[in-house]
Amino acid sequence: MLVSSSFGSRPILLAMLFLLVSCGQRRASTSETLIIGGQPTQAPAYFAALHQIGDQEPFCGGSLIAPHVVITAAHCVSPFRGDLAVWMGMTSVDSKPTPIQAQAIIRHPRYHNRKFQHDLALVFLESSLTTKTITLAGSDATQDRLRIYGYGNTSRDGFVYPTNIQTAEVQEIGTGQCKTLGGSYGTIIEEQICAGDMQKGATDSCDGDSGGPLVVGAQTQELYGLVSWGTGCGQAGRPGVYTRLAPYHDWIQETVDHMMQGDTPLDEFLAALFYGPLRYQDASGAERQFTASYQLWRKAASSVATAALATWEKTWQNGTVRLELHSRGPQRYEWRAFVRGEWYTAATHFSQ
């Protein structure tokens, strides 16, 4: 997430960024300087390149922390892009492994999309992998030598995306010092890490590196943080901001355990499975879109007698989860869900 130094111009900057990214991508040629001060490398086995099925380019990074779980930034999956998949351990976009689809996604419940705080999410994969996972770092001491990996922008003042994954070393700047840098840095909390090269801005993460790993250790790497945001890229005195993982170890462990044991709270479970927008054509042919946010679950005796306007189905650990949209008069909808062997009624939000 790129943040401009002046708060007021942020939406304009983001809109411009979007336009530039969507129309102006070009690949780095070998003669150009790569990442912000990085170099091409072999992708670590745990590195996940997030992409939308059918796309040829990744838009974010992630890390495999369990055979079926990738951790990434919440802003990478917010708003949800439907049909998310990962390429594991991919070193070059010219040589892609088989994509693995995301089956469910859980964002941190306190993720704040304006302050970019609690910027983490768990992506549960359709098939579990035998690839090596990365363990979460135990240490919480300020780190001099940290390493980043990603397919993000390699240019300080334009948009140049590399064919080969890039890596660079960055240095941690204490949270207290980072807060004094002003602008958006004033919102930094202990659950975030500032890292970069304060003097020269020689190395940094940038747009497209988001969600990717910030690791500690040379021989055995451990996951210390996730690329989150920054004010520009590779500017002196403007470090990159990362989600610190140590404060979230319990949340990560519990969330993974609950999903695997099948006792995730119902509304959270449904939102995790139906993470993409639910599209439906109404009687007039207009497309409506429902978001994956469910509330007020009540047990229902059965499904309603009327035929559903639309149904969506997902499987999770051999069980089928079914969502039905029913009509209750003009512009009035009722949701029914079959989950863990019972029918429920629900309220959901819909847009457009």
Distance between CA 143 and CA 139 in Å, rounded?
9
Nearest distance in Å: CB 1, ligand 4AZ = 5
Cis upstream peptide for 79 (omega within 30°): yes
Q: By the 8 A CB rule, do 69 and 143 touch? A: no
Residue 172 binds ligand 4AZ (CB under 6 A): no
Residue 335 binds ligand 4AZ (CB under 6 A): no
Q: Quickly list DSSP for 129-196.
A: --SPP-EEP---S--S-EEEEES----SSS-EE-SB-EEEEEEEE-HHHHHTT-GGGGG--TTEEEEE
- Measured from the CB atom, is 121 or 325 closer to ligand 4AZ? 121
Distance between CA 225 and CA 175 in Å, rounded?
14
Nearest distance in Å: CB 65, ligand 4AZ = 20
Distance between CA 65 and CA 131 in Å, rounded?
10
Quick one: which segment of 49-57, 165-173, 228-236, 344-352 binds ligand 4AZ (CB under 6 A)? 228-236
The 287-300 sheet, strands edge to edge: 278-281, 287-300, 342-351, 333-339, 319-327, 310-316
Phi, psi of 76 (to 5 degrees): -70, -25
Closest CB to ligand 4AZ: residue number: 230
Read off the tokens for 146.
């940290």
Among all residues, which ones are annotated catalytic?
75, 119, 210
Number of residues that bind ligand 4AZ (CB under 6 A): 13
Site string for ligand 4AZ, 232-271 (x = CB under 6 A): -x------x-------------------------------
Nearest distance in Å: CB 210, ligand 4AZ = 4
Site string for ligand 4AZ, 199-218 (x = CB under 6 A): -----xxxx-xx--------
Nearest distance in Å: CB 205, ligand 4AZ = 4
What does the binding site for ligand 4AZ look like in residue numbers (CB under 6 A)? Answer: 1-2, 204-207, 209-210, 227, 229-230, 233, 240
